[in-house]
Chain A
Amino acid sequence: MSTIDFLHAGEQTKAIHAGETPDPVTKASAPNLVMSTTFLVDADTGFSVEGFEESDTWIYTRWGNPTIHQLEQKLAALEQAETAIAFASGMGAITALLFHLLKAGDHIVISDVTYAALTEMTNELIPELNIEVSKVDTSDLEAIRRAVKQNTKLIYIETPCNPLLRLTDIAAVAAIAHEAGVKLAVDSTFATPISTKPLLLGADFVIHSLTKYLGGHGDALGGAILGSKADLTPLRKKTAIRLGGVISPFNAWLIMRGIATLPIRMRVHEENALKVAHYLEQHPKVKKVIYPGLPSHPQYELAKRQMKNFSGIITFQVENGVEQAKTFVEKLKIIHYAVSLGHHRSLIFYLNSPDLLKSSFKFNTSEQLASWNNFAGEGIFRFSIGLEDADDLIADLEQALS
C-alpha cells in the first residue's frame, strides 16, 4: 500500500485515514491502543528534552506516544497544519500556549467574551503572573488595533465565540497582528476544521477543545494546538512536556475514532440546527434566535465568507428564561439539560446574563456591553443540536415550550 496525498484528499478521507497506517507487524487495519508509558531504547539513547525531536523513537509517553501521535497527525491533516500537539483538555492546551508565549511584563489582547473558564483564567491567574491583559470585542477590528501595544505578544480570539456566537474576521485580525509582529491564536472549537481553517486565513495557532465536535461523543476530554513546526516544536519541548498536561492514549484513541465521522456529523449538525433555528424563529414564545446560518445573524455575510459549515450551536431568548429553564428540565425528554456541547446528543443550558456579567465577563466600555446585550439580552439558551432526528428534537421543544 502506498501513501495517501492528504494535502489533496477530501475531508472525509482525511478524517478516516490521516495518521492511521496499518500496523506494520499485525497488519491490523484499525489503530492499536498503545497504553505503555515507557519504550525500550538503545543503550545510548539520550533522555533530555533539549535534544528531543518529533521524529525520534518513542521513549516515554509524556513526550510522545504512538497513539497520541496518530491523533496529532489526523488533526494536522484536517486543519492543513504542519503539526499538532494534543493535551488532556482544551484548557490544558490553552494553558500550555499562554505559558509558552507569555512571560512577566508581556501583554495579551483577548476577546472580552470567550469560553468562561478562559475568561476567568485571564481575569485572575494570568494577571497574577504579571502579564497584562486587554479584553476587547474582537468583532471590532478598530478596538483590536487600538489595544495592541509595544509589549503585545499574542492576540487571542474565538470564532464563533462561546456563548454569543459572535464572529471575528480571522483574515482581518491576522493582518493587524502580523503588521504589529504579534502572534494570532484562534479557538476554532465551535467551527471545527470542516467549517473554517484559521491557519489558511493567516492565524499562527489554532486551538480546539477536542471534547466537543472533534471527539463528538461526550466521552473523552481532550485539547489541541495546531500550527507551524517552527512555533510548535519549542512549545512541545517547553510547556507541553514540562507542564505535563498530556492526553491519555485512551482518550486520544476515542477521539480519533470520533473524528472518522466528523465531516458527516457536521453536515447533520448543521442541517438539524437550521431546521431547529427556523422552527424557533417562528415560535411565538421565542424573542430572538442567533445562528450564523440565519440571514438574521448580525454578521451573516462574514459567516458565509468564513464558515463552510455553520456548525450545530444556536442560542435563543424567551420571555422569562429562568422560568423556562425550569420547565425545560422537567419536560424535555430527548434533549439533556447539561453543560458542554458538540456531542451526538443534544444538550441545552440556560446562561443568565446578570449572573455571567457578575462572575465572568467584565466590560470596560459601553460598546462592549451593548454588543453583549445585542447578542444575549437578559439571557440565552445555548443549544447544542445533536444528531438525533430533527423532527424529534422539534417535537420535544414544542411540548416543552407550550
Chain B
Amino acid sequence: MANTKKYGFSTKAIHAGEEPDFRDGATGDVVIPIHLSTTFARKKVDEPTAGYEYTRSLNPTRNALETKLASLENARYGFAFTSGLAAESSILLSLVKPGDHIIAFDDLYGGTKRLINNVFNNFGFEVSFVDAVDPQNVRNAIKGNTKLVWLESPTNPLLKLSDIRAVSEITKEHGIVLVVDNTFLSPYFQKPLDLGADVVVHSSTKYIGGHSDVLGGSVMLNDEELFEKIKYHQNAVGAVLPPFDSYLTLRGIKTLALRMERHNENALEIAHFLGRHPKVKKVIYPGLDSHPQYELANNQATGFGGVLSFEIEGTIDDAKAFLEKLELFALAESLGGVESLIELPAVMTHSSVAKEVREQIGISDTLIRISVGIEDVEDLINDLEQALS
C-alpha cells in the first residue's frame, strides 16, 4: 500500500500500516504484532536495527497505528499519544513560544481550555477566546504575534460549527497555523486537512478507538517542518501511546466506517424522535435542518456524527429523574463508543462553569447530551420513550 491515496476509506482503515511481513524470518502475519519490547538490540554499533532503538522514540506497533492514522486524514504524517490532551500539549509546546498569541474557539472542550489557561499561561502564552461560528471574529482577533488558531467543529456539547475552509483562508493569509479538533466527526465524516487546516487533532479515546477501552490522542498533518517539531516533543515529553493501546486503537479503526454510518443513522432517527416528543423543548444536531448551520454541516462534512443534545421541559430535578430512569443509556462521561452514553452538562461536564455563564452560552439545567451508540435504534428509542413518560 505504497500509495494509499487511490484507496477508499475502509480499505485504508483495514490495510494501511499493516502490510503482511514477508521479510526473512518473518511470519507473514497480516495483523501487526504487539511489540511490547521497550528496547531494540543492534546488529551494528552505529545504527539502530530497522530504525528501532527505544519504544518512546519509535515502536513498530505504534508506528503501524501512526501510518494508519495519517492515511485516514489523507495526511503525510500521524502521531499517537497517551490521550487527546497529551496530543494537544505536544502541539502547543511545539508550535507556540512564550509571548505568542493563540486564538481559540470559545466553545472548546473544557480540558483544552484548562490546559491553555492553567498550564501554558505560566509561561507567558497569550490567548483570545472568540465565537468562531463567524470566521470574521477570528480575523478580528488576529494580532502581530498570533501563531495559532484552534478550532473544534462540531463543539461539545452545543454542536456549533466553524467554517474550516473560510477560517483556513484567513490563517493562510497571515501565515498562522490552523489546528482543528476533529474528534466529534472522525476522519470518516470530515477531513479538515483537505478543507485547508494545517494540523488535525483527535481524542482517539472516542470514535477512532470506539470501544471505550483505550485512551489515546492523535495528530495528523502534512507539513514536514511541523512534523519534525512535534516528533521532537513527542519523544522529549514522553506521552507516547503504548503498544498494547496502539493495538486496541488499530483494531477499533478497522470498523470505523461501519460504526460511523450506524452512529449517524441512529442519531438522526433519535433526533427526529426527540423533535416530535411533547416533553422535548429543543434538539441540537447538525443533521437536522433546524440546526442554524445545517448548510455548512452538509458542505464541509459527509455526515453528522453520533452526538446530539436536547433540552427537556421542567427543572433540573426532572432532568435527573429522566436520566436515572434510563435502562440502556449509561450515565457516564466520554463519548464515541459503541455503547450509548448520556450526561447532564449542567451538573457533570460543565459543573465548574457558573450558572449564569452556562445559561448565557446555552447550557441550561435541562440540556442533555447523548452519545448515540450502535445498538438497535428501536431499543434506544423505547428506552428514551419510557424514561420521558
Check A245 against B40 for contact (C-beta < 8 Å).
no
- Check: B351 CB closer than 8 A to any chain A CB: yes
Contacts of A49 in B (CB 8 A): 114, 352
Check B240 against A104 for contact (C-beta < 8 Å).
no
Question: Which of B38, B122, B123 lies in contact with A211, CB distance below 8 A?
Answer: B38
Q: How far is the CA of A225 from the CA of B349 in the complex (A)?
A: 28
Check A130 against B123 for contact (C-beta < 8 Å).
yes
A19-61 with Cβ < 8 A to chain B: 35-51, 59-61
A99-134 with Cβ < 8 A to chain B: 99, 102-104, 117, 120-121, 125, 128-131
Contact A88:B240 (CB < 8 A) given known A46-B347, A248-B215, A338-B39: yes
Contacts of A180 in B (CB 8 A): none
Check A339 against B53 for contact (C-beta < 8 Å).
yes
Report A86 CB to chain B, min CB distance, Å.
11
A-facing mask of B60-85, CB < 8 A → 1, else 0?
Answer: 00000000000000000000011111
Among residues of B, the one whose C-beta sits closest to the C-beta of A237 is: B118
Instruction: Give the tally of cross-chain contacts (CB within 8 A).
Output: 215
Check B323 against A104 for contact (C-beta < 8 Å).
no
Among residues of A, the one whose C-beta sits closest to the C-beta of B206 is: A37
Contacts of B50 in A (CB 8 A): none
B232-248 with Cβ < 8 A to chain A: 233, 235-242, 244-245, 248
Total chain A interface residues with beta-carbon distance under 8 A: 72
Check B82 against A220 for contact (C-beta < 8 Å).
no
Total chain B interface residues with beta-carbon distance under 8 A: 71
Check A242 against B114 for contact (C-beta < 8 Å).
yes
Question: Which of B53, B111, B213 lies in contact with A242, CB distance below 8 A?
Answer: B111
Contacts of A329 in B (CB 8 A): 42-45
Q: How far is the CA of A327 from the CA of B20 in the complex (A)?
A: 34
- Check: B182 CB closer than 8 A to any chain A CB: no
Check B38 against A218 for contact (C-beta < 8 Å).
yes
Q: How far is the CA of A254 from the CA of B350 in the complex (A)?
A: 35
Can you list 18 A-B pairs, Cβ within 8 angstroms, ordered by A? A41-B331, A41-B333, A45-B347, A59-B333, A91-B236, A103-B123, A104-B122, A130-B98, A211-B38, A218-B39, A219-B37, A220-B242, A221-B56, A242-B111, A245-B238, A322-B45, A337-B41, A338-B53
Instruction: Give the B-binding residues of A (Cβ under 8 A).
Output: 35-51, 59-62, 87-92, 94-95, 99, 102-104, 117, 120-121, 125, 128-131, 211, 218-221, 223, 238-239, 241-248, 250-251, 254, 322, 325-326, 329, 336-340, 343, 347, 350
Given contacts A99-B122, A242-B85, A244-B87, 14 further A-B contacts (CB under 8 A): A38-B334, A43-B319, A43-B331, A99-B119, A129-B123, A219-B38, A223-B238, A244-B88, A245-B82, A245-B83, A246-B86, A326-B45, A336-B41, A338-B53
Instruction: Give the A-binding residues of B (Cβ under 8 A).
Output: 36-45, 53-56, 81-89, 93, 97-98, 110-111, 114-115, 118-119, 122-124, 205, 212-215, 217, 233, 235-242, 244-245, 248, 319-320, 323-324, 330-334, 337, 341, 344, 347-352
